[in-house]
Structure 1
Amino acid sequence: MGEPHPATVLNVNDDDANRYLVNRLLSLAGYNVVEAATGMGALLMAQQHRPDVIILDVKLPDISGYEVCERLRANPQTAAMAVLHTSATFVTSDKKVRGLDGGADAYLTQPFEGAELIATVKSLLRLRHAEQVARQRANALAEMDRRKDEFLAMLGHELRNPLAAIMTAIGILERRPTSDDKEARMRGIIQRQTNHLARLVDDLLDVSRITRDKVELRPGSVDLVPVLRQVLQIVQPMADSRGLGLDVSLPSGPLWLQADATRLEQVFTNLLDNAIKYTDAGGVHLRAEQEGVGGAAQAVVRVKDSGIGIPPEVLPHIFELFAQADTSLERSRGGLGIGLTLVRKLIQLHGGEVTARSNGPGHGSEFVVKLPLDHTMGKSAPARDAVDLRRGRRVLVVEDNSDARQAMRDLLELWGHQVAVAPDGLQGVALAMAQPPELALVDIGLPGLDGYRVAQTLRAQVGNGIRLVAMTGYGSPHGRDQALRAGFDRHLVKPVKPDELDRILSEL
């Protein structure tokens, strides 16, 4: 292994004798020395030689050392260089402060001892080395974070594709009545566990966005009461399977919020799912009401259970990432420890707060969510007339996953539509050109011609008469925006629930 290269020091001073003396001291100390007599010369030498340390006199014949330092800091190629100001005339404290505030790392007043100069240079080199190490570590962490995000996006896509096929298939089975109790139970198990897997995938991807403050809301006027009723429909089968009662108290009138309805559904599904999961006997209580009046009025939702409770030492950290109430080795309750982190972040983004209470193990838990009410809403907007697609529309499904493609075809035909299918983008475009469908469901990650290009081609060749719906395993806001720019009318993230698909088709 070779010896490390000696550090390079740029010595900037217009006094020849002073510059020679400093050069001599630095050379004897083992440093490579380059020099300049003017401020502009210093900037040029810094660019050419990339010194580790610049000894910069404040008083120079063209521009001051202060300005030289400011220009060095403003240039990304020289910003990390250590700068030592020296001066024989500007020695007042305010001048030193000006130099340090302007970007200098240290300040020496001439005349100074040679040992003091060399010790200061060594100190600056240690500082520069530490900064380089820290910068390299930060860059490495940033690269690891980027790769992690790419991996999670790909993981989400790969998990959502099979989930989409399973969810569509169970949707078909549910529409075929059965008298076999065992078969009905098996269908219920498949549906509950598929929904649970879909929520875990969503949480896993959302927590990556939350840690980078990339979560986006799409707020609008939302009545919280129907949102909670929808959540109750989702969690009721799980409560039934555990023999738990759901005690619900909702107001008779609306609770209007400026909120993202999808995110609120995610919040309260998480809270109720946790309450049910951590309760072995008794029940779960959901209560929503308005508290306060005027501008201070809030919607308050309480989710209370009679379950395992939260230990006092865990309670202060329950909303932290990967915190768990169930810390036993067997981890029988499952979960990733990220749901409550998502809950807190999403509620904070809505301008609200969430708190947790528990009297300890065995005494249950209560989570209280408070959200500001929207006082501009007096009544709900008039509902739009839904279009009944049951009359039999021409629908094109472009999907490369064979199971998902077949399940979607069977479901749509069960609803009475005429369905054509294609396994890739090129065949999808060819089918649409031969007989234009009224609606096309297009996967984004297609071989050959991806879904974005399919949409652009169909918009250019078929026109705006066709309705286009993107279906993808990538759920990022960027992907949604890109889909809309490509010409899609809607963007759906897999797995798409049959009821949700039915609603979207009706709205289009």
Structure 2
Amino acid sequence: MANRGDEEAAEGTLEGRGAEIFAEMANGLPLIVWVHDASGEQVMVNDTFCEFFGVTREQMKGDRWQVLMHPDDADAYTEEFLACIEEQRPFHAEVRVQRGDGEWRWIESWGRPRFSAAGEFRGMVGTSADITERKQATEELARANQRIAEQHEDLQKSAERLREANRRKNDYLAMLGHELRNPLAAVQSATELVGVAAMENPRLEQAVEVLSRQSEHMVRLIDGLLEVSRIARGKVTIDKDVVDLRTVCAEVLEDRRTRVDEAGLCMEVQLPDTPVWVSIDEVRTVQILDNLISNAIKFTPEPGQISFALHPEGESAVMRVCDTGVGIAPDKLSTIFETFHQESQHHERSSGGLGLGLAMAKSLAELHDGSIEAHSDGLGQGAEFTVRLPLHAEPPRRDEASDTTKPGVRSILLVEDNRDVAAMLHDLLAVQGHDVTVVHNGADALEALEAGRYDLCLCDIGLPDMSGHEIARAARSSDAIDDVTLVALTGYGQADDRARSKEAGFDAHLTKPVRLNDLTEVLGSAR
């Protein structure tokens, strides 16, 4: 920082009249202006310099300018400035200085080397500007960025904790559903067994119907829990086939017509006259439509109406389910597809549920590259759900063949460690005339397979001493065991579970609770 000095010093340094002109220009500037000679001593400052620091030009001669700087900054600033003088290079630095009122302020200085016409180094000329507010703003911005970074890190940790909690929840739901299947399998088998014996007893028949209906309801609840858990974990695979969507819709609607009638409702169905070809997983699409129809029945009091329409629209197949039910409040439309979401039920026939159906329908529609949306004019105005699935080109025609072979009497080995499930399955198979042997662990199963000849082996996967997969692999690799039809019994029924069973050597895979029709079909296919 340089002092303008008196006129004689200015003339000696800046060469006569040019010095006067420079001094006049410098004094008219709002910036601090200073001049140093070739030795680094300050020889000139402008009026702004003196006003800012509260000093006179005389006080700033030589190296007295150094006393204006903050003790923590002075050495580094001075060292850099003198190095620039010695090396005759531009100078740039920031430093805290004490203003005339005693306040410490930040200034930024720029200096350029001066040379005579002959190229002789004459010193440094420069300016300084008060950057305190900019510095404070920069520091505040840095602190704000630091706070944002810390908050972002906290949010990331919170999100990770939520993801971990969600993963644990999904794992727990999967485990819970699996564990519930075993006792439910025993209940369902016992119900079917009693049903066989109750054909001529109307009162007992009615009790069996109640048991059967409620156990089926429990199965649907458990399946819903497992399905939502699998979807959340990305475990659901879509096995697509090209089908006429009219056929799928007609079958679901016909299956649900009895429930519609029992609820005191009427149902109007509109299907197009020409095929609506789509590439879908038929089972998953049935789940979508079944959940929508069930939802409409659940929230429509009698005498109400449900309508279903299917039609192609652009590149989509559009399924629309409408009802005259309780409707949806406008502020609830955005959350209607959330897991475990339940609208208030205001009519007498409202049935229970876990709030999984619409969430599952939305996820399954999206897995088909489709969409689902809800609309309602408000409470008491009914609701409309629209599903869109991509259309597909018509497939080539193919011949269909059917196998209606019914099973005869079979020799069956049942491997099941849950004794209630084993007892009920044994009696259910025995009452149909089959010869059933029961064992409760893997070692006994392999021993029985080696000792006797069986048409079919129903084998639980989760056994106390070894897994069902290990039994299957051992049976397939043993010369002492005849070629027997192996059927896996398990609470897990996803595509990857079936793939593991097939890889281990099983011929079929049944998910608990096992239904009589499923057993009959497997028995018919036994070697």
Question: What TM-score results when the alignment is normalised by the length of structure 1?
Answer: 0.67
Match of 1:300 among 318, 336, 342: 318
Distance in 2 between residues matched to 1:483 and 1:387, nearest whole Å: 25
- 1:417 paired residue number: 434
* Bigger Cα displacement from structure 2, 397-406 vs 128-137: 128-137
CA drift of 1:344 comes to: 1.2
Match of 2:401 among 380, 383, 395: 383
1:422-445 CA deviation, whole Å, 9 max, x = no partner?
A: 222222222222223222221111
Match of 2:512 among 481, 484, 494: 494
* Bigger Cα displacement from structure 2, 225-234 vs 316-325: 225-234
Distance 1:242 1:376, change over 3 A: closer
Amino acid at match of 1:273: S
- 2:369 paired residue number: 351
Contact 2:323 2:382 (8 Å CA) reproduced: yes
CA drift of 1:247 comes to: 4.5
Distance in 1 between residues matched to 2:322 and 2:524, nearest whole Å: 37
Distance in 1 between residues matched to 2:395 and 2:371, nearest whole Å: 22
CA drift of 1:156 comes to: 0.8
Map residues 2-21 of structure 1 onto 2, 5 A cutoff. Answer: none
Contact 2:241 2:279 (8 Å CA) reproduced: yes
Contact 1:288 1:299 (8 Å CA) reproduced: no
Distance in 1 between residues matched to 2:512 and 2:389, nearest whole Å: 29
- 1:17 paired residue number: none
* Bigger Cα displacement from structure 2, 200-209 vs 460-469: 460-469
Distance 1:317 1:482, change over 3 A: same
Map residues 121-132 of structure 1 onto 2, 5 A cutoff. Answer: none
- 2:168 paired residue number: 147
Map residues 309-324 of structure 1 onto 2, 5 A cutoff. Answer: 309-324=327-342
- 1:274 paired residue number: 295
Which of these two proteins has the greater Rg computed from alpha carbons? 2
Amino acid at match of 1:266: Q
Contact 1:311 1:325 (8 Å CA) reproduced: no
Amino acid at match of 2:391: L
CA drift of 1:399 comes to: 1.5
Is the aligned partner of 1:485 residue 2:503? yes
CA drift of 1:154 comes to: 1.4
Distance in 1 between residues matched to 2:217 and 2:487, nearest whole Å: 25
Is the aligned partner of 1:445 residue 2:466? no
Distance 1:369 1:506, change over 3 A: farther
Q: Which runs of 5+ in 2 are unaligned?
A: 1-71, 73-134
- 1:264 paired residue number: 285
CA drift of 1:407 comes to: 2.1
Distance in 2 between residues matched to 1:169 and 1:246, nearest whole Å: 35
**Could you say what secondary structure the match of 1:313 adopts?**
helix
**Could you say what secondary structure the match of 1:309 adopts?**
coil
Distance 1:265 1:165, change over 3 A: farther
1:426-476 CA deviation, whole Å, 9 max, x = no partner?
A: 222222222232222211111112211111111112678322222211344
Distance in 1 between residues matched to 2:206 and 2:322, nearest whole Å: 28
Distance 1:318 1:435, change over 3 A: same
Contact 2:300 2:326 (8 Å CA) reproduced: yes
Contact 1:395 1:440 (8 Å CA) reproduced: yes
Amino acid at match of 1:401: N
Is the aligned partner of 1:199 residue 2:220? yes
Is the aligned partner of 1:227 residue 2:248? yes
Distance in 2 between residues matched to 1:247 and 1:115, nearest whole Å: 72
Match of 1:161 among 182, 186, 192: 182
Amino acid at match of 2:451: A
CA drift of 1:172 comes to: 3.4
Among all aligned residue pairs of Structure 1 and Structure 2, give the percentage whose two residues are the same amino acid.
Answer: 38
Distance 1:250 1:330, change over 3 A: closer
Distance in 2 between residues matched to 1:256 and 1:164, nearest whole Å: 37
Q: Which runs of 5+ in 1 are unaligned?
A: 1-27, 29-113
CA drift of 1:234 comes to: 5.0
Map residues 467-482 of structure 1 onto 2, 5 A cutoff. Answer: 467-482=485-500
CA drift of 1:281 comes to: 0.8
**Could you say what secondary structure the match of 1:152 adopts?**
helix
**Could you say what secondary structure the match of 2:330 adopts?**
coil
Match of 1:407 among 402, 416, 424: 424
- 1:60 paired residue number: none
1:383-409 CA deviation, whole Å, 9 max, x = no partner?
A: 2424321x1122222122222222222
* Bigger Cα displacement from structure 2, 187-196 vs 341-350: 187-196
1:259-309 CA deviation, whole Å, 9 max, x = no partner?
A: 1122122212211221222223135545354425xxx46443333333222
Amino acid at match of 1:492: L
Pairwise CA RMSD of aligned residues? 3.6
**Could you say what secondary structure the match of 2:172 adopts?**
helix
CA drift of 1:257 comes to: 2.8
Distance in 2 between residues matched to 1:253 and 1:464, nearest whole Å: 51
Number of aligned residue pairs: 393
Contact 2:301 2:349 (8 Å CA) reproduced: no
Distance in 2 between residues matched to 1:372 and 1:258, nearest whole Å: 8
Amino acid at match of 1:209: R
Amino acid at match of 1:370: R
Amino acid at match of 1:305: D
1:70-91 CA deviation, whole Å, 9 max, x = no partner?
A: xxxxxxxxxxxxxxxxxxxxxx
**Could you say what secondary structure the match of 1:470 adopts?**
strand
